[in-house]
Structure 1
Amino acid sequence: MDAQSLFSLITLAAVRPLVGLLPLVLVVLALKRLVPRMRGSAGEARIGRVLEQLFSVVRHDLILPDGRGGWTQIDHLALTPAGLLVVESKAYRGLIFGRKGEATWTQVLGRRRYTFQNPLRQNFAHVQALKALGLGVPVLERVVFTNTARFPKGLPEGVSRLATLAEDLEPYREGVVSDALHQAWQQLDGAIRTDRAARRAHRAGLERRFGADDRLSPGLLLLAAAGVLVGGLWLTAGQLGPEVSALRRQPPLMPAPAASASRPASALSPTSVSPPPLSSRPQPRGSTVSVAVAEPRISLQWTERDGGARESEDCKLAIAAVLMANTPENRHRRVRVCGTSAMP
């Protein structure tokens, strides 16, 4: 493995955890756009379940002609002894301020304020669409907010919270459903549209009047981008895996000794030692001959070892293995291969 490949491997190992966080960021941004829509669907379902407990005949999410050449969507429609009950559900949070005659209401979330269409007026349009069918029976209306909404100034007339919905609708349960109401329900059932073309036409009409909902498409795009990134990281991990496995399969090598000021004794090469020659001068009789023995002279030669503390190819591989997987095994191998002075 050359230096460029090693650098690329180390860079990938360092950047990969940061890139791995990017899909999570995209998912959070997507949920920020999609959660309001999901919350609305969940709140609508809870209100629908309460209505089904109160009345025996209930329909949900209906598309009907609006009597003006277009379409309207009704959240819930119940057959009650008092008449046909049209229910508009709202899964809003925070503080709600509004009165029956106002065109828009206000939602307060902390320091933020949002305005939305008066739901009583919105539901009145649904009631008018039913009356345009000529059913000849009473049509009742009710707007229901989930329990996450609060009305500091009191609930307007015709508005309920989910917690008190059963109590508020108790008067509509008294008596029995008349034959006229049953016939009107059958007539209404024939006017309900369930095909996709009607839903697309209704959605197009809303976009012309109020503009397109810019939350769904960007949220789905962000989720798709997160999926693509996860797939790319998975493929990258598959390519990086053999490199990491190869590093871990490297056999342990003996470390090269570090250079120091003291030379090892094994590097000394002694030369031959010869005693000094004896003097040939004649000595007087009776004298003692003394021989001066000189100290042997030892010449030393230094032998330089190859390798020293240089980072060999195996040292680079050991360092890369620690950067990718900082395990005790890899750290021990790095010390053995590189020595303590060569560790990064």
Structure 2
Amino acid sequence: MDAQSLFSLITLAAVRPLVWLLPVVLAVLALKRLIPRMRGAAGEARIGRTLGQLFPAVRHDVILPDGREGWTQIDHLALTPAGLLVVESKNYRGLIFGRKGEATWTQVLGRRRHPFQNPLRQNYAHVQAVNALGLGVPVLERVVFTDAARFPKGLPEGVSRLATLAEDLEPCREGVVSDALHQAWQQLDGAIRTDRAARRAHRAGLERRFGADDRLSPVLLLLAAAGVLVGGLWLTAGQLGPEVSALRSQPPLMPAPASSASRPASALSPTNVSPPQLSSRPQQRGSTAPVAATESRISLQWTERDGGSRESEDCKLAIAAVLMANTPEHRHRRTQACGKSAMP
């Protein structure tokens, strides 16, 4: 592997953990944009649970005809002894400034100011939609903010905080629900729509009046980008691993030594003879090294004696046995095979 490839692998291995952080950052940004919607849904659920504890019948998140050939969405409807109650829930934080007759109110969060539609006017349209059904019973209205909102100049008429909702609605709980109210509730329940077609029609009407709601578009784009990055990193995860493993398994590049010590034993002496196998012979007592290990370190070289005469093969083996283990048995065998005159 050349230097450029090595540098590329090292760079990729160092940068890759940082690349994995990018999908996490994109997902966090998407969740940050979704938090207001999630907070609003949680606040609406808390208000709905409180209403369910106060009144005998409650419906949540319903679609009704608005009486103008359109649709309107109502957060909560409740059957009370005083009439049918229409509730608009708001989960806002910070300081809230606004009056009953003003078109817009203001939310203050630190140094930021956010105007929003007067919720009393918004809920008035819901009340008109219920009245358009011709039920013939009183229709009450209430706007409820969660406890995260504060009103420095006091609560406008018709507005409650969740902490005091039960106390504010105490007059609506006095008495019993009349038969007329029960019948009107059944008619109202029959006009309620919760199917997807009605919700799509309601969204279409909002888009015609106020324009398309593109608040979810950045969230979807961020989540899609995070998913694409995770998929790409997952697919390339198996490509870097084998290359790095191969790089680690390669031996270091070292020049071969030129000394004679690295040459094989056969190159030093052409007459080199492998040692005889004596694995079946007993090992000398007191010896700590096995015979096989001793044999692997012995190399015998035979030369001519007495003008070219050679000892017999049995003599050579006997002499080698004595050199490796000088026992009486090996010496006796050497005497028999070589004779006294041929012993070294």
Same fold per TM (> 0.5)?
A: yes
Instruction: Find the counterpart in structure 2 of residue 217 from structure 1.
Output: 217
Whether contact under 8 Å (2:9, 2:244) holds in the other structure is no
Return the letter of the residue paired with 2:218. P
Whether contact under 8 Å (1:40, 1:91) holds in the other structure is yes
Tell me how far apart the structure 1 counterparts of residues 21 and 80 of structure 2 sit (CA, whole Å). 53
Whether contact under 8 Å (1:63, 1:73) holds in the other structure is yes
Residue 91 of structure 2 corresponds to residue 98 of structure 1: no
Please list, as runs of the form range in 1=range in 2, the aligned pairs for 1:234-313 lying within 5 A after superposition: 234-250=234-250
Instruction: Find the counterpart in structure 2 of residue 54 from structure 1.
Output: 54
Please list, as runs of the form range in 1=range in 2, the aligned pairs for 1:136-151 lying within 5 A after superposition: 136-151=136-151
Whether contact under 8 Å (1:105, 1:116) holds in the other structure is yes
Please list, as runs of the form range in 1=range in 2, the aligned pairs for 1:30-49 lying within 5 A after superposition: 30-49=30-49
Shift of 1:249: 4.2
Instruction: Find the counterpart in structure 2 of residue 107 from structure 1.
Output: 107
Shift of 1:175: 1.4
Residue 60 of structure 2 corresponds to residue 25 of structure 1: no
Q: Show CA shifts across 1:52-101 (max 9, x none).
A: 11112110011000001110000000111111111000111111000000
Q: Show CA shifts across 1:15-65 (max 9, x none).
A: 212222211221222123211111111111111111111112110011000
Please list, as runs of the form range in 1=range in 2, the aligned pairs for 1:67-216 lying within 5 A after superposition: 67-216=67-216
Shift of 1:255: 7.3
Whether contact under 8 Å (2:58, 2:77) holds in the other structure is yes
Instruction: Find the counterpart in structure 2 of residue 9 from structure 1.
Output: 9
Return the letter of the residue paired with 1:31. L
Tell me how far apart the structure 1 counterparts of residues 143 and 88 of structure 2 sit (CA, whole Å). 5
Shift of 1:177: 1.0
Larger radius of gyration: 2
Whether contact under 8 Å (1:34, 1:215) holds in the other structure is no
Give secondary structure in 1 for the equivalent of 2:63.
strand
> Which ranges in structure 1 are unaligned for 5 or more consecutive residues?
257-265, 267-344
Give secondary structure in 2 for the equivalent of 1:21.
helix
Instruction: Find the counterpart in structure 1 of residue 322 from structure 2.
Output: none
Higher relative contact order (CA 8 A, sep 6+): 1
Give secondary structure in 2 for the equivalent of 1:154.
coil
Tell me how far apart the structure 2 counterparts of residues 254 and 191 of structure 1 sit (CA, whole Å). 84
Give secondary structure in 1 for the equivalent of 2:38.
helix
Return the letter of the residue paired with 1:52. G
Whether contact under 8 Å (1:66, 1:72) holds in the other structure is yes
Whether contact under 8 Å (2:91, 2:148) holds in the other structure is yes
> Which ranges in structure 2 are unaligned for 5 or more consecutive residues?
256-260, 262-344
Tell me how far apart the structure 2 counterparts of residues 17 and 248 of structure 1 sit (CA, whole Å). 19
Give secondary structure in 2 for the equivalent of 1:233.
helix
Return the letter of the residue paired with 1:126. H
Whether contact under 8 Å (2:104, 2:118) holds in the other structure is yes
Q: CA RMSD in A?
A: 1.9
Identity of aligned residues (%): 89
Instruction: Find the counterpart in structure 1 of residue 295 from structure 2.
Output: none
CA change 1:68–1:254 in 2 (3 A) is closer
Return the letter of the residue paired with 2:3. A
Return the letter of the residue paired with 1:74. I
Tell me how far apart the structure 2 counterparts of residues 28 and 254 of structure 1 sit (CA, whole Å). 47
Shift of 1:243: 2.3
Whether contact under 8 Å (1:146, 1:162) holds in the other structure is yes
Give secondary structure in 2 for the equivalent of 1:141.
strand
Return the letter of the residue paired with 1:62. V
Q: Show CA shifts across 1:150-192 (max 9, x none).
A: 1000000110111111111122111111111111111111111
